[in-house]
Amino acid sequence: MKKQKGGEIKMIDYSNKNLRPKTFFVKMVRNRDGSFTVKRAKVLNRTNQFKRSVQRVDARDITRAIRNNELNVA
């Protein structure tokens, strides 16, 4: 992951299998042709057992990861 300041969008390296599990909040819209578009994406970061924060991530990056089966969608 790249550490960003403030409200900047963050990129996540999905190829790194040593990352702890992440929780994503994704707003997807289904188009009339049956395809999906990612409108908004955020990730829940756990610093420790007491501190958590929500940061924006790149919607294109999330879409690419889902398409390439780098994310397990439950």
pLDDT along the chain (74 residues), means of 10: 56 68 87 91 87 89 83 70
> In this structure, what are the phi and psi dihedrals at residue 63, rounded to the nearest 5 degrees?
-60, -45
Task: Answer yes or no: are the C-beta atoms of 55 and 42 closer than 8 Å.
Answer: yes
Which pLDDT value is given to residue 1? Answer: 46
Which pLDDT value is given to residue 21? Answer: 74
Location of structure tokens 């999906």: 36
Q: Does residue 6 lie within any of the structural domains?
A: no
Query: Which amino acid does the sequence have at 11?
Result: M
Q: How far is CA 26 from the centre of its chain?
A: 7
pTM for this entry: 0.64
The domain tally of the chain equals 1
Q: Does residue 13 lie within any of the structural domains?
A: no
Q: Give the integer Cα–Cα distance in Å for 29 and 41.
A: 12
Q: Could you list the residue range(s) of the whole structural domain that residue 45 is in?
A: 23-67
Task: Answer yes or no: are the C-beta atoms of 11 and 57 closer than 8 Å.
Answer: yes
Which pLDDT value is given to residue 16? Answer: 67
